[in-house]
Structure 1
Amino acid sequence: MTISAVIRAYNEGEHLGRLLTGLERQTVAVDEVVVVDSGSSDDTVAIARAHGCRVVPIAKEEFTFGRSLNFGCDAAKGDLLLIVSAHVYPVYETYVQHMISPFDDRDTAIAYGRQVGDHRTKFSETRIMRKWFPEQSIRNQSHPFSNNANAIIRKDVWSQLRYDEQLTGLEDLDLAKRALSLGMRLDYVAEAPVVHVHEETWSTIRNRYRREAIAYKRIMNEEQFSAREAVFLAGVNIMSDYYHAVRHGELLGHLIDIPSFRVAQFLGAVEGFRTDPTMSQSLLRRFYYPDLRRPRSTADLGTPIDYADSTGSNL
């Protein structure tokens, strides 16, 4: 099977070079890289072309998350479409090898991989990643959670379903839900981690959760998610974050950013749901309830990529 990497990018010159270097160092090579650029004014396009990528432009006024991915997937020639955010980078040289492994089973339509943070990641965001992306793989996952910052899909499945171009986010969850309804298989691959770099302000965190809630209420229309529940969950998560920060000896460094992040998260969610406050309870826990499990070692996943010795741009 041939593999195309599809990357959405807008002013990602600071991060894109590291991702492309990581892809070039894989034990299993991708056959092409397609970068969908939505009008970058920095050196994003120059970096992409220097690494041999095919650049597909999309006008800013045409951009939606789903439409930009459809542009890239249309242009891609591979049997498998590896979809990655421009501000992630693989941890191990075996990343692509692990991402394609579920597709030995013809029933597998979509897979998504693990995400972790780095020193730039806010404490609460790190805990969210541990909740959403556990250290154990899930074969034949029963619920439609997926994430296009680190995902892979058969091109024929994408051609059949395509991403919803009207959604304000969560186009990955929407397509996965439709795939599961048709009896297709969704896998989670913990052995294929990427570092997801999030450097957001309070307002951008709030806006991210707001637009995702707007999308979520359109995709899932089951149980209610009230303002009272949001306040309760914000408090629970703040206390849980403080508890874990104390355990790790990091409380003083996060006294302010923990409540700031959680307030932005839940305020944005309430704003997104206030006109039609519905949320699936089965996924509400995955999105918002704290994870109290202890992490386990994953030292046997492969050889970490050494980015320090690279001469690529913006590493």
Structure 2
Amino acid sequence: MFTGVGPNGVKRGDDIHNTISLDQRVAAEIGGETRVRSLTLNSSNGAASLSWNNKGIPVPTTRGRAEVFRRLFIEGTATEVARELDRLAHGRSILDDMRDQLKSLARDLGATDRERLDVMQTSIREAEQLLHQEEAWAEKPKPDIDAKESEFSGKDSSWVHGDNRWYQLIRLALQTDSTRVIVFGIGEHNPTGVPGLEIGHHDASHHGKNPEKIEQLARYEMKDYENFAGFLDLLDETKEAGGSLLDHTQVLLASNLGDASAHASNNLPIFLAGGGFKHEGHTMFDEENNLPLSNLYARMLQKFGIETDSFGSSTGVLSEFG
């Protein structure tokens, strides 16, 4: 979804050789300036990661709000901080041992195995960078906020309630500059606790043009957009120097399917808000010859101040808005 790897000729999932995702490309540039390089979150258990590093390895996903809250806002005791520093030092030692072992292996490997070894070495380097970043922040005080962990823990009354609590936590993470890069995967929903919903989300999305299922799908999607609109309001209400948090945050809502019933990945519904763009409402593109979504990603990277004219399978930079 966010790597922009071209689908042409792909017949099986294992034909895809993924590469870095949009969020990790941004995190590589600005992630070192905050406590957390990036957050990869998901509201659904078992859902695949949306973030990938530059070797096409998925970035682990966090699915617990309370875990995220504690990581960002709960101060450890002196003993806990010391234990955390010991853990990081131990992690560094393990990585050093792994690097030495890989160097020994490299002498006896063929070309194919050397490529695999390169992937492992890249993962080790990235892990080292994260360890150094965590060490640098371990003894710095965390932001003082009014919210409590109990506001984000416990069982949700419905997925609408749960996703709203995720959005509130994401706003806090951005507002306190604890991180500047977040991916939030919204999983499949169930009808429990939501008036008007009678069948499962997946069942509704594979409607086969059944009007009753389409009506149910519309209800699900309306709730999703109401949640998302509430999130944009939260960002807009959060004032910062020179504007609002929304003015300073690129917010992308996207789906990998234009028609889930047909598993069609063309004519995708894409929503971009905030970020200082000159938004012009709903923009339609050629429905027969779709522009690569990566053209938009390249434009977003430029807005971050990253000098690039391409990303993934882009054929240019989207210029239809400022």
Higher relative contact order (CA 8 A, sep 6+): 1
The interval holding the TM-score normalised by the smaller chain is under 0.3
Structure with greater strand percent: 1
* Structure with greater Cα Rg: 2
TM-score (norm 1): 0.26
